[in-house]
Chain A
Amino acid sequence: MTTRLIRNANLLGQDPQDVLIADGVVQQIGTGLTADGATELDATGLVLLPGLVDLHTHLREPGREDAETVHTGTRAAARGGYTAVHAMANTFPVADTAGVVEQVWRLGRASGYCDVQPVGAVTIGLEGKKLAELGAMHDSAAGVRVFSDDGKCVDDAVIMRRALEYVKAFDGVIAQHAQEPRLTEGAQMNEGTVSGELGLAGWPAVAEEAIIARDVLLAAHVGSRLHVCHVSTAGSVEIIRWAKAKGWDVTAEVTPHHLLLTDELVRSYDPVYKVNPPLRTEADVMALREALADGTIDAVATDHAPHPAEDKDCEWAVAAMGMVGLETALSVVQHTMVDTGLMDWAGVADRMSFRPARIGRLAGHGRPVSPGEPANLVLVDPAYRGTVIPESFATRSRNTPYRGLDLPGQVRATFLRGVPTVLDGEPVAPEAVAGAVA
């Protein structure tokens, strides 16, 4: 395996250092390093971070390969600086058996761009009625630790309680998509001033907050680990802050789009802004940024949700919900958190790599950049300014809300266990990674 010497990289945004990689492992960190025969990479001006970890990715395979495949999705992930993603269970068939999660896991291994950690469904068919075989999914080759009915809420309090309890046996976590179903029947967008004017059925914040409140109490009661997916309201932040203050084992994630966009955008009725949970208000956005900065929210998760053009090129009510996000996540975080002074690059590493890996119990990811650790790394050019051009994306879908927007930062290179998956800002050829990563 090639020995690589990254020169003058600002490690977590600090002073320039050289980083020597060999055998998939960080060998040495220091200044003025030398290594015979090493491939050198000038990283002057670039920030070096641990490879990013996404807790919430929809790879769509199996079943909706017209929107995304594991191959295209992991290429997109690598291009966004990710070295591991959690593949959500709402595929066709649903990832509610050991067979399906193993299939997804194998597809990820074969792709080689990024590790794919399947998420298992909590209930059979995401129907919220009967627990899926959580233990079998954990015991499979995929080693599932995160379970979620994402897209649907586990709204039955008894089922939720049992799931929380059951996964304690193998240190699992339930990742809840918090959405009270009755309060959101037919809901189209955040309920508020804008929905009232637009005549779109409202999606009240309380529908999210009521479930989170119930779940943190349940988790506390049974002494389990709860993870809250894509927190979108200021009220949810308050509840999570309260639960954490109580010392309960609750973690939470926020999406990049909820850190930047508001429901004002829905005035265009352009379904590219249709997403679940919906875009909220400016006050919510500010509360989410603050919560991410102070650690109340643990992680940024993309909720990358690719859809084919025809599912968005239509009237709002019938359009699919979701946005692609893998390739813009880091830029949006830099724009909303770093460039605003709310967080430094060490904070980015913590919220986008260390903590998500810990929540998912992923060994080998989210590790400090230090000798002996796996060389899962990303080099970012924070000075870059560019316009988002969806046509240049590696993901199969184009449903980004950022088209034409100027965003900072660019991933220049990504390394998965020492193997470059992205160089000069573009994914390497598939042959270069397939089977190359140990």
Chain B
Amino acid sequence: MKRHLVSAADLSHDDALLILDTAEEMAQVSARAVKKLPTLRGRTVVNLFFEDSTRTRTSFEVAEKRLSADVINFSAKGSSVSKGESLKDTALTLQAMGADAVVIRHGASGAPLRLAESDWLHGSVINAGDGTHEHPTQALLDAFTMRRHLAPGLGRDLSGRRVTIVGDILHSRVARSNVLLLATLGAQVTLVAPPTLVPIGVESWPCDVSYDLDSVLSKTDALMMLRVQRERMNAAFFPTEREYSRRYGLDSLRMGALPEHAIVMHPGPMVRGMEITAEVADSPRCTVVEQVANGVSVRMAVLYLLLGGATLADHPTRTNAEESTK
């Protein structure tokens, strides 16, 4: 695996399976009375959040604590950062604190890559969502959830499974990471959205695109509904909330058109009444709560695989694997 997790594209097929399989072991730990492992004792992980996201931060924090890492929550909102301190200065500060890993959530696409490729800090960088770019751990937990339902078993990928992602693809970091990861894992992905919410250049993505939700429902094993912010209406991406819901929202009728085994997913937070009806959200086919639990397992796996062995911070003079052989 690479030293950082910035994009789902950083993961090879083997990497992705290793994370999913490791997450299964981590899930076992989470089921025990003592939900703690000593593995990351002495490692410092900083949760650097430039955007509020209680659910993602909490998920990472639980994962870090279950692995016994020292956790520092650096909420950049309302701190010196909003007073103009730069990403660079923040990174230098964290480096001085001896951060072994930085989990970063940032409103600007590319901020995690900037951090990873700079010499501002030496720890691993884990992207917890950057702008409208990527959210790779969300994609991993989604894939983990899909595998449990659709292709259970260690070492298995999602070959041949059909995943439909519906909603604001244009502004969705979840969609971008999912398309990349699911393609790596062999799934067939179809994006469904009004044309205004499909990015230019989507033809080059490893997926299909449809503007018609009803036509793909019967060919779907996992249906992922994305949040659609009401503000998009004001920017003329669609005429009204009502029209959006009617054409792209998931109600019981549409859920009934899915195959028996199909699951309904949502990265949260849901906008009930917009992209999903309350009835669907609360149905047993909806995996939202399960996704939250799986998020902890997957993040434990990522943290373990990035920090559980020798890191650059342990041997800063080492430059390549060659030297390590003697």
Contact = CB atoms under 8 A, between A and B. Distances in A.
Judged by CB atoms under 8 Å, the answer to whether A and B touch is yes
Contacts of B86: 310, 313-314
A199 B176 contact: yes
Interface in B77-115: 86-88, 106-111, 113-114
A315 B200 contact: no
Interface string A91-130: 0000000000000000000000000000000000000000
Interface stretch (B64-72, B130-138, B259-267, B287-295): B130-138
Contacts of B110: 198, 200, 269, 315-317
A196 interface: yes
A269 B109 contact: yes
A317 B108 contact: yes
B219 to A, nearest CB: 25
Contact of B108 (A193, A195, A202, A315): A315
Contacts of B202: 196
B134 to A, nearest CB: 7
Interface in B31-58: none
A201 B176 CA distance: 14
B109 A198 contact: yes
Nearest to B111: A315
Contacts of A200: 109-110, 131-133
A222 interface: no
A268 B117 contact: yes
Nearest to B6: A269
A191 interface: yes
B173 interface: yes
A197 interface: yes
A428 interface: no
Contacts of A197: 176, 201, 204-205
Contacts of A270: 114, 117
B205 to A, nearest CB: 8
B199 interface: yes
A141 interface: no
Contacts of A314: 86-88, 114
Contacts of A317: 107-110, 131
B87 A196 contact: no
Interface in B196-230: 199-205
Nearest to B131: A199
Contacts of A310: 86
Interface in B271-288: none
Given A192-B201, A193-B201, A269-B114, A198 B108 contact: no
A217 interface: no
Contact of A315 (B114, B203, B205): B114
Interface string B120-147: 0000000000111110000000000000
Interface in A177-205: 188, 191-202, 204
A279 to B, nearest CB: 15
Contacts of A193: 200-201, 203-204
B216 to A, nearest CB: 21
A315 B87 contact: yes
A255 B203 CA distance: 30
Contacts of B205: 196-197
B123 to A, nearest CB: 18
A383 interface: no
B108 A316 contact: yes
Contacts of A318: 108
A45 B114 CA distance: 44
Interface string B12-47: 000000000000000000000000000000000000
B173 A199 contact: yes
A205 B86 CA distance: 32
Contacts of B108: 315-318
Contacts of B114: 269-270, 314-316
Interface string A296-320: 0000000000000010011111100
A269 B130 CA distance: 12
Nearest to B86: A314
Interface string A312-356: 011111100000000000000000000000000000000000000
B88 A191 contact: no
A273 to B, nearest CB: 11
B134 A199 contact: yes
Contact of B109 (A192, A204, A316): A316
A316 B114 CA distance: 8
B109 A196 contact: no
A191 B106 contact: no
Nearest to B116: A269
Contacts of B133: 198-200
Interface string A120-159: 0000000000000000000000000000000000000000
Contacts of B203: 193
Interface in A249-307: 268-270
24 contacts: A194-B201, A196-B201, A196-B205, A197-B204, A197-B205, A198-B133, A199-B131, A199-B133, A199-B134, A200-B109, A200-B110, A200-B133, A201-B132, A269-B111, A269-B114, A270-B114, A314-B87, A314-B114, A315-B114, A316-B109, A316-B111, A317-B107, A317-B131, A318-B108
Given A315-B87, A315-B108, 14 more contacts: A191-B200, A193-B201, A196-B202, A198-B110, A199-B109, A199-B131, A200-B109, A200-B110, A200-B132, A200-B133, A201-B132, A268-B113, A270-B117, A314-B86
Interface of B: 86-88, 106-111, 113-114, 117, 130-134, 173, 176, 199-205
Q: Which 3 A-B pairs have the closest CB atoms?
A: A269-B110, A199-B133, A193-B201
